[in-house]
Structure 1
Amino acid sequence: MADLQDDLHTTPEAGELDDLPVPFPAGVLTPGSCPPVLDPDDGPLERAHALLAAHPVADGYSGLPWALRQLPWYDLELGESAVATDVPRLREGHVAALFWSLHLPEGSDGDGERAVAATLEQLDLVKTVVRAHPEGLRLAEDAGQTADARNCGRTAVLLGPAGAAALGDSLGVLRCLRVLGVRVLTLTGVSWAGEAGLTRFGEEVVREMNRLGVIADLSGASPQTLRRTFAVSKAPALCTRSAARALRPHPANLPDDLLVELGAAGGLCMVPLTAEQTGPTVRDVADHLDHVRTVAGPESVALSGTYDTASAHPLELGDASCYPRLIAELLRRGWDESDVALLTWGNVQRVLRTADFTARAFQERRQPSTATIAELDG
């Protein structure tokens, strides 16, 4: 693996091909609306809109697919008040890429066969929704397609994270999900990625994910699973909904030692905009972003709206249109524009590119795995 490791160190820098500025229109909490500006000084907010026009948001987690399943009718291009995400608000918030979760509601993924079927149903729904809204949304699988969608004024929709329960114990199912466009898999809720860490089969799953370009999501995983994934994976991992445990002791938030290890492995901590994990105000969210940037490094922090997941959101961050408020708060705190550009867009592009580079390198050296859980963990 030494030659492979040398190849992986030559990953191209993010942002080389997608730096063209593309304007996205700007525009007590009520559903479906961003509250009025509370600060009379509009300077940072104007700067935030200008910065986001050039470096828009890549949002790491949206619960929109499941939320739409509950609605009898909707039009995301016209605007949909029953959810927190629609095309007008994505444009107002300068959201140019969005990971759509394929997770199932809590407690519904215990049956492996049902989890596979439900994930396929979610995939079908996402593709149907995107096809029905061609002026606002476009499916994307990699950094290039994401940048292309952005340059055409659309929001790129990336598929995932999906739950590992959808695999059952089959690497063949993993390959099928990748063919269907899935880019991120959450390593929780399965026997091979538990409190004790990855089993031998779990390690084989991670290697096959590397070969396919499927990115590991470690939010909610045990510390042992995080550390073993960092050791086994040659591609960066994501924590799609994790903030700083030093500031708020939520079980999905990361302690400082794991933030350091995540940064050293080139991964991303995608801070969620939820009151439960980060606190009730935009300043609380900014505190977490400050902390993660300091501990893990500016190349290891990103954003996760976590909208349409039935979670309460901080004041001033009630829906997908509100990202400029958060960026304005960071600018008030003295964030460099280069660090903001990494936070919103560059870091996610880097991870997508590195995952694809790793997959190409693996595919030259490794055949599809035929390993089974009985063979490795039996």
Structure 2
Amino acid sequence: MLRSLAAALLFTAAPAAAADDLAEAREILAEQPVFDGHNDLPYGIRENDGRIGDFPYARLDDRYAGKLVTDAAGMKAGGVGAQFWSVYVPASLPQPEAAVQTLEQIDMAKRLIAANPDSLALAATAEDVRRIMASGKVAGMFGVEGGYSIANSLGVLRQFYDLGVRYMTLTHSQSLDWADSATDAPKAGGLSEFGREVVHEMNRLGMLVDLSHTAPATMRQAIAESAAPVIFSHSSTRGVANHARNVPDDVLAMLPQNGGVVMITFVESFLSEDRRQWGGEQAAYEARMRALEPGLSEDEIAKRMTDWEAKNPAPKASVEDAADHVDYARRIAGIDHIGIGSDFDGVTSYPNGLTGPADYPNLFAELLRRGYSAEDLKKISSGNVLRVLERAEQVAARLQGERGPSEMRFSAEAAAR
């Protein structure tokens, strides 16, 4: 009888404790809201209908079910106070066209903010972010995702800064003549001379150097070159999930001296080693099929892939997996060098318990259960990335007093040597 009573009490205590953790997480995020490093909503809008005028940002309707997850209701419920909106365009575009489409995406993001003045506001500085957060709105800054968007021009880089871009990811999925990607063959040996000058000019402007998507050699060289803290806007740790897009231990260990942050992302194959391995098996199956049966139509390939996935369901990542990456980054880099970069609306599936902006408190509740303090969580939510942004602004003020805009031009001949 006593044993049964004890079991019943334990059974009821666990949900109560979980509810308490979630309530405390919400209170912490009310005091120090999330500053998320990467959200692809502007490109999601472009891909769906491209029109801001009738986009239901206040609360997504049935037109976007299964397509997009970001709206004002979710951001408010999740305790979001600031967002780096990605102005991504595909890496496959010719560089002049990439620059044009990036301008269109900046315009898209600006119009999204202007159309929703009750919930969104544009920020230019860390001070702006703090002020907008305090008002209850979401502060917005822009992130260019891939150096191809500047079309090998430092002048274009400077104009992007003037339009509100506050970080640039040096590469995306393909290597450039001046910077190497994590998911492509190297071209530049990390960073070329022009690549190093891109980093220097970003420092002078006060634009954060984002090393997500870059090769480890690019990461190491950029950190060595940068006078300001760097960010990884949406990456996790390679020690937990051995994905090329994640950050190696030796690079994590460089962050304390540099001052930068790794912003843990919610991409399932970056969080879960099982999911990463499943993705490799999926890709291998498709590659074998294409090699052995080159005459197959794309419709037939899609049908066979659907059949394969039905027989081999993808393992799901979880809130606990995301917390494992936070734990790992804390052990290697320290609590002052961690943030959150969800990649919401940049992928098509999400971990259990982290399916949209309303779910950020679930991760913070899990961290509370693991012994993190309220002060720890305030650093992770936005304190660390705000410190990085403020430091970048200080470095820029100093460098602008020392030198003017760089006049280096990209040289294809030099890049080929």
- TM-score interval w.r.t. the shorter chain? 0.7 to 0.9
Letter in 2 for 1:202: G
Structure 1 residues 156, 135: CA separation in 2 closer, same or farther (over 3 Å shift)? Answer: same
Match of 2:218 in 1: 225
- CA shift, 1:275, in A, is 1.4
Match of 1:193 in 2: 179
- Corresponding residue to 2:81 among 70, 93, 96: 96
- Runs of 5+ unmatched residues, structure 1: 1-37
CA contact (8 A) 1:201 1:377 kept: no
| SS across alignment from 2:254 | helix
- CA shift, 1:256, in A, is 1.1
Number of aligned residues: 339
- Runs of 5+ unmatched residues, structure 2: 1-13, 181-185, 273-316
Moved more, 192-201 or 340-349: 192-201
CA separation in 2, counterparts of 1:71 and 1:374?
Answer: 38
CA separation in 2, counterparts of 1:376 and 1:175?
Answer: 24
CA separation in 1, counterparts of 2:117 and 2:141?
Answer: 15
CA contact (8 A) 1:236 1:354 kept: yes
Moved more, 319-328 or 367-376: 367-376
Is 2:56 aligned against 1:75? yes
Structure 1 residues 288, 39: CA separation in 2 closer, same or farther (over 3 Å shift)? Answer: farther
Taking the TM superposition and a 5 Å limit, the aligned residue runs for 1:276-287 are: 276-279=269-272, 280-287=317-324
CA separation in 2, counterparts of 1:301 and 1:376?
Answer: 40
CA contact (8 A) 1:102 1:163 kept: no
| SS across alignment from 1:121 | helix
Match of 2:325 in 1: 288
Match of 2:277 in 1: none
CA contact (8 A) 1:161 1:217 kept: no
CA separation in 1, counterparts of 2:144 and 2:270?
Answer: 19
CA contact (8 A) 1:162 1:182 kept: no
Taking the TM superposition and a 5 Å limit, the aligned residue runs for 1:7-156 are: 39-41=15-17, 42-72=19-49, 73-80=54-61, 82=64, 83-105=68-90, 107-109=91-93, 111-156=94-139
Identity of aligned residues (%): 36
CA separation in 1, counterparts of 2:394 and 2:57?
Answer: 34
- CA shift, 1:375, in A, is 9.2
- CA shift, 1:377, in A, is 2.8
CA contact (8 A) 1:74 1:80 kept: no
Structure 1 residues 137, 91: CA separation in 2 closer, same or farther (over 3 Å shift)? Answer: same
| SS across alignment from 1:321 | helix
Q: Deviations over 1:271-322 (max 9, x none)?
A: 0012111131111110110110111111111001110012421101100000
Is 2:411 aligned against 1:374? yes
CA separation in 1, counterparts of 2:250 and 2:228?
Answer: 20
- CA shift, 1:80, in A, is 4.3
Letter in 2 for 1:91: K
Is 2:153 aligned against 1:176? no
Q: Which has the higher helix share?
A: 2
CA contact (8 A) 1:183 1:213 kept: yes
CA separation in 1, counterparts of 2:391 and 2:209?
Answer: 13
TM-score scaled by structure 1? 0.87
Moved more, 70-79 or 269-278: 70-79
Moved more, 173-182 or 77-86: 77-86
| SS across alignment from 1:160 | strand
Taking the TM superposition and a 5 Å limit, the aligned residue runs for 1:186-335 are: 186-188=169-171, 189-194=175-180, 195=186, 196-279=189-272, 280-335=317-372
CA contact (8 A) 1:256 1:295 kept: yes
- CA shift, 1:149, in A, is 1.0
- CA shift, 1:376, in A, is 9.2
Runs of 4+ displaced beyond 6 Å: none
Larger Rg: 2
TM-score scaled by structure 2? 0.79
Higher RCO structure (Cα 8 Å, ≥6 apart): 1
